[in-house]
Amino acid sequence: MKRLLIAAATASLVLTGSALADEKPDILKVGITTFLSGPASVFGEPAKAGAEMMIADINADGGIGGVPVEVYFVDEGAGGEALLAEYRRLVEDVGVDAMFASISSGNCTKIGPLAEDLKVLNIMWDCGTQRIFEENDFRYSFRTQANATPEMLSTVLYLLKTKPDLKTIAVVNQDYAWGRDSWAIFSTALKQLKPDVEVVAEFFPKFGAPDFSTEISRLQALRPDAILSTSWGGDLDTFVRQATQRGLTNTSTLVLPLAESSLERLGGALPAGHIVGARGDHYFLHPEKAGDAAFTSFVDDFKERTGAYPIYPVFHMAQALSALEGAYKKAISANGGAWPGDEAVIDAMSGLTFAGLGREVTIRDDNQGVEDQLLGTTVRVDGYDFALLDNMMMFDGDAITTPVGMISAEWLETLTPEFVDSVAFESFSHGS
């Protein structure tokens, strides 16, 4: 019953005689790159813990297609050379059947071409840069979650739906590719959807900055209606806490697309009334999963094991594992029940629909996953010593993802203010 990774069984045609049965291996080996050191280990460690729990469950049920899964973790924090060298070693020496790489978009960019060279199934399980599949045509890499474009676009939509009178906005993002890219997408979309909003300040303090006092003073003087920050981890925590300590949260609405991963840590520091996103429909109190025993028991087990509720990297990991399982099932069934060849598994990934711990995700033709986006506004609720989400909206992934073959920047330019009302979404409130 604790099986969690239920791959949506997709009906598939049995192509008789077209595939050769490979010998069934004793173990299915999976390599996972994740941050175990450095600031991004706030994502990497929970994801690793989640992977271990979920794989134990898979193996308890006999493994994938009857083959138990063995996992190898690689530290992305060890730097580029070590990561690539280790990636190769796992593929060439250890002979892993699939790789999950990675958290960092930079590492995904590095690994994409390498996976093509090594001809190994590469699931980009957490990285968000929209460029990957817009600028490359990969056969072996797939992304089992959304990318930056739908994540930012849904944030703009939520902001405009909840604050239709928005006049001014400022941004405080980390100074690295994600901070810059996400602002580029956000500001492009905002300009198209509500052209009269004025950007009053753009701050890009360096990654890992310990102090935002000066930026906060400046923002207090400017008093923008909303302040966007796509920061995460310690940087986000520091910014939010300093903003709250100095009363900035009383005068401006914070828009924090990644703050789902910081809610519990922030505790009382994040007051009610601010916008929080989750890079997908990831939330330990997912409004559609309240009665789902598998979901709630996983959340409880995870909390018990790690001391914290699962955050979006854990959910992303669940999606990656679910996709892997789904692809093998699909390929096995396409192969008449016999163990499939490596290429057959790759073929099975295309068009695959699967679900991790949220709604279903579908892999498109360009290997990009289409995932719905959940955002909400913080609310203080008895029984939790940290902020929860209320006034949630779940946006339909198809409508907000850049169409296959288009570049995000160009697609966003085609949007008009009418788009805000045309996008399908569902609303949920806390406890509903």
Which of positions 248-267 make contact with another protein (CB under 8 A)?
248, 265-267
Peptide bond before 102: cis, by omega within 30 degrees of 0? yes
CB of 266 to another protein, least distance (A): 8
CB of 223 to another protein, least distance (A): 10
In this chain, which of 64, 227, 263, 269 binds another protein, going by CB under 8 A?
269
Residue 305 as a binder of another protein (CB under 8 A): the answer is: no
In eight-state DSSP terms, residue 70 is E
CB of 28 to another protein, least distance (A): 19
**Cβ distance to another protein smaller for residue 178 or 328:** 178
CB of 425 to another protein, least distance (A): 31
C-alpha to C-alpha distance for 274 and 97, rounded to whole angstroms: 43
C-alpha to C-alpha distance for 305 and 218, rounded to whole angstroms: 42
In this chain, which of 93, 165, 196, 304 binds another protein, going by CB under 8 A?
93
In this chain, which of 19, 51, 54, 75 binds another protein, going by CB under 8 A?
75
CB of 222 to another protein, least distance (A): 11
Which range touches another protein (CB under 8 A), out of 19-27, 99-107, 152-160, 323-331?
99-107
* Site size toward another protein, by CB under 8 A: 69
Residue 221 as a binder of another protein (CB under 8 A): the answer is: yes
C-alpha to C-alpha distance for 10 and 351, rounded to whole angstroms: 10
C-alpha to C-alpha distance for 8 and 323, rounded to whole angstroms: 9
CB of 44 to another protein, least distance (A): 8
**Cβ distance to another protein smaller for residue 31 or 397:** 31
In this chain, which of 3, 25, 211, 429 binds another protein, going by CB under 8 A?
211
The angle formed by the CA atoms of residues 123, 124 and 126, to the nearest 5 degrees, is 130
CB of 39 to another protein, least distance (A): 6
C-alpha to C-alpha distance for 185 and 409, rounded to whole angstroms: 7
Residue 129 as a binder of another protein (CB under 8 A): the answer is: yes
Which one, of 2, 115, 107, 88, lies nearest residue 44 by Cα?
107
Phi-psi sector, 411: left (phi>0), alpha (psi -120 to 50), beta: alpha
Binding characters for another protein, 137-176, by CB under 8 A (x = yes): --------------------------------------xx
- Compute the Cα dihedral for 180, 182, 416, 273 and give only its sign: negative
Buried b (16+ CB within 10 A) or exposed e, 145-163: bbbbbbbbbbbbbbbbbbb
Residue 242 as a binder of another protein (CB under 8 A): the answer is: yes
Record the tokens describing residue 257, joined without a space: 């697309």
Please provide residue 64's backbone torsions phi and psi, each rounded to the nearest 5 degrees: -95, 120
Which range touches another protein (CB under 8 A), out of 2-10, 50-58, 67-75, 321-329?
67-75
**Residue tagged 């009178």 (tokens):** 165
Please provide residue 254's backbone torsions phi and psi, each rounded to the nearest 5 degrees: -85, 140
Residue 182 as a binder of another protein (CB under 8 A): the answer is: no
Residue 70 as a binder of another protein (CB under 8 A): the answer is: no
Q: DSSP strand E in 225-331: where?
A: 226-228, 253-256, 275-277
CB of 197 to another protein, least distance (A): 20
In this chain, which of 36, 200, 399, 409 binds another protein, going by CB under 8 A?
36
C-alpha to C-alpha distance for 312 and 126, rounded to whole angstroms: 9
3-class DSSP state of 188: helix
Residue 101 as a binder of another protein (CB under 8 A): the answer is: no
The angle formed by the CA atoms of residues 353, 126 and 145, to the nearest 5 degrees, is 25
Provide the binding-site residues for another protein, judged by CB under 8 A: 36-39, 41-42, 44-45, 72-75, 78-82, 84-86, 88-89, 92-93, 104-106, 109-110, 113-114, 117, 129, 175-177, 180, 202-208, 210-211, 213-215, 217-218, 220-221, 233-235, 237-238, 241-242, 245-248, 265-267, 269, 308
